[in-house]
Amino acid sequence: MQQPLPDSDELLQAVFQAQPGLLLVLSEDGTVLDYRAGQILFSPSPAELLRNRIQDSLPVEAHIKFDDAFSRVQHTGKDSVFDFSLFIKQQTHWYEAQLTPLGQGLIAAFLRDITLRKENELAMRRQMDRLAALRTIDMAITSSLDLNLTLTMLINQVKTQLNVDAASILLVEPQTQLLKYAAGSGFHTDVFMHTSLRMGEGYAGRAALTRQTVRIANLSNHQTDFLRSPHFAQEGFTDYFAVPLAVKGRILGVLEIFHRAPLSPNADWLDFMNMLSGQAAIAIESAIIFNNYERANSALILAYDATIEGWSRALELRDRETQGHTQRVTEMTVHLASAFGLTEQQIIHIRRGAILHDIGKMAIPDSILLKAGPLDAAEWEIMRQHTSIAVKLLRPIQYLAPALEIPQYHHEKWDGTGYPFRLKGEHIPLAARLFAVVDVYDALTSDRTYRKAWPRAQALEYIRTEAGRHFDPKVVEIFLKMLEGR
């Protein structure tokens, strides 16, 4: 025997009440003629809606959306679906409305509460924004190691993503352990730029000392601690956070957040604040590491320079006659180069090139290098290799690459009769043209194993006559002027 079915209307009612929704039967102009209400929070209540135009019972945005939907349904004769929100019991509730034409000028409206779905959507969108923000910061950390730039960008992210009026970052100064202002935005006065706090002093100092976030709501009621200066009141802040910035337990600074109205932070907001401060701490640490690296790098360069000076001294130790030659020609060449208006950067390389100019003589046997008389053809063949030997020796050293011109070309001659390439005129790099004059002048005025030093006047006369032959005439002119001035 079959159970008798309940009355169909009763059944519909029962099914409907289990559904989270509201079914309205509307006339063409939106007047509510009838309804079935399931589990739904809606305001005004369905009973209040009855016999009124639904649009007129709702706030302006929902009103407009219903009007639009009614005209779409009437024009197309098809369903229309849209979302709208209502502010009920201090909260935003989202609804999806589906309008269906029933014929005879009647329309069914089915409303569902989609607040949870909307909140998820919004939360996801916020998450995306925040991920994008974190990614921006991340890129800044890896691409720019300029700490000020990174901090400024972090501050801007804090302000926009956390929706606060002002933020600043204080950094721990390593020598003094004082918290000092490093970056900030959103302040009306410059009071904050002078911040300097000891560990434990003030709210920021307390956050740094305890490694705990400090929050002060109703800031204006707190007369003592925070009032860094009488001007502080002018800022009108009411809410405040001090977030310690630490990496692996080492405190690097404090992020301060200020707002001129009460904040109502939720878990999301706090999570994001913590993420941002984590990123800030990493950015600061990277910048500190980079600065240390730069310092180590310049120490490395000093070590290199000491090394090449060591090499050239080793060369001079073999050939007692040339002692002091390297230092003299280096100093004179640097002078000549600056008289020529070369930049400091170019001169750094010229200086190294001058120090290393004859480093290739390291490979020349004593029997040739220290020979008391003139060289025979075979000996000359070997002696002339000292320029290319220098290049072979120095080429693998990256930082000496721009310094190679002098070792390589210092025996080329302006008229194209030099070695090893017989370069002519301005095909010879300027550094080498400058150096050649200085080198010959110093060689002539010094004792050599193969001859005695020439008097200064004779050497100067020789240089003058070689202008346009061995030497660049313009270089000779400036060189002679430079020596006259001494």
**Contacts with ligand SIN, residue ranges (CB under 6 A):** 322, 325, 357-358, 410, 426-427, 429-430, 439, 443
The listed partner (Fe ion, ligand C2E, ligand SIN, none) that binds 426, CB under 5 to 8 Å by sort, is: ligand SIN
The listed partner (ligand SIN, Fe ion, ligand C2E, none) that binds 449, CB under 5 to 8 Å by sort, is: ligand C2E
Q: In this structure, what DSSP letter does residue 363 have?
A: G
Contact (Cβ atoms closer than 8 angstroms) between residue 36 and residue 14? no
Beta bridge partners of 169: 183, 255
Contact (Cβ atoms closer than 8 angstroms) between residue 333 and residue 438? yes
Nearer to ligand C2E, 348 or 375 (CB): 375
Binding footprint of ligand C2E, residue count (CB under 6 A) = 13
State the minimum distance, in angstroms, from the CB of residue 435 to ligand SIN. Answer: 8
Among 86, 411, 432, 472, binds ligand C2E (CB under 6 A): 411
The listed partner (ligand SIN, ligand C2E, Fe ion, none) that binds 430, CB under 5 to 8 Å by sort, is: ligand SIN
17 near ligand C2E, rule: CB under 6 A: no
From CA 452, how far away is CA 317, in angstroms rounded?
19
440 near ligand C2E, rule: CB under 6 A: yes
The CA-CA-CA angle for residues 396, 399, 403, to 5°, reads 90
Nearer to ligand SIN, 286 or 326 (CB): 326
The torsion angle over the Cα atoms of residues 121, 122, 128 and 133, rounded to 10 degrees, is 180
The CA-CA-CA angle for residues 192, 193, 196, to 5°, reads 85
Nearer to ligand SIN, 325 or 351 (CB): 325
Contact (Cβ atoms closer than 8 angstroms) between residue 344 and residue 330? no
State the minimum distance, in angstroms, from the CB of residue 358 to ligand C2E. Answer: 7
DSSP secondary structure of 289-338: HHHHHHHHHHHHHHHHHHHHHHHHHHHHHH-GGGTTHHHHHHHHHHHHHH
Residues between 337 and 376 that touch ligand C2E (CB under 6 A): 371, 374-375
Among 448, 464, 474, 483, binds ligand C2E (CB under 6 A): 448
DSSP secondary structure of 160-183: HHHT-SEEEEEEE-TTT--EEEEE
Residues between 266 and 325 that touch ligand C2E (CB under 6 A): none
For residue 290, what are its two tokens? 């980079």
State the minimum distance, in angstroms, from the CB of residue 417 to ligand SIN. Answer: 16
412 near Fe ion, rule: CB under 5 A: no
Half-sphere exposure of 268 (CA within 13 A, CB side): 15
Nearer to ligand C2E, 73 or 459 (CB): 459
CA 10 to each of CA 2, 17, 34, 46, 357: distance values in angstroms, whole numbers, following the listed order: 18, 11, 16, 19, 107
Of the ranges 20-28, 68-76, 278-286, 358-366, which one interacts with Fe ion (CB under 5 A)? Answer: 358-366
State the minimum distance, in angstroms, from the CB of residue 373 to Fe ion. Answer: 19
| Sheet arrangement for strand 214-216 | 196-197, 179-185, 166-172, 250-259, 239-247, 214-216
Q: In this structure, what DSSP letter does residue 467 have?
A: B
The listed partner (ligand SIN, ligand C2E, Fe ion, none) that binds 383, CB under 5 to 8 Å by sort, is: ligand C2E
Nearer to ligand C2E, 342 or 383 (CB): 383
The listed partner (ligand C2E, ligand SIN, Fe ion, none) that binds 444, CB under 5 to 8 Å by sort, is: ligand C2E
State the minimum distance, in angstroms, from the CB of residue 427 to Fe ion. Answer: 19
358 near Fe ion, rule: CB under 5 A: yes
CA 213 to each of CA 172, 208, 226, 277, 336: distance values in angstroms, whole numbers, following the listed order: 16, 9, 15, 11, 62
- Where does this chain bind ligand C2E (CB under 6 A)? 371, 374-375, 383, 411, 439-440, 443-444, 448-451
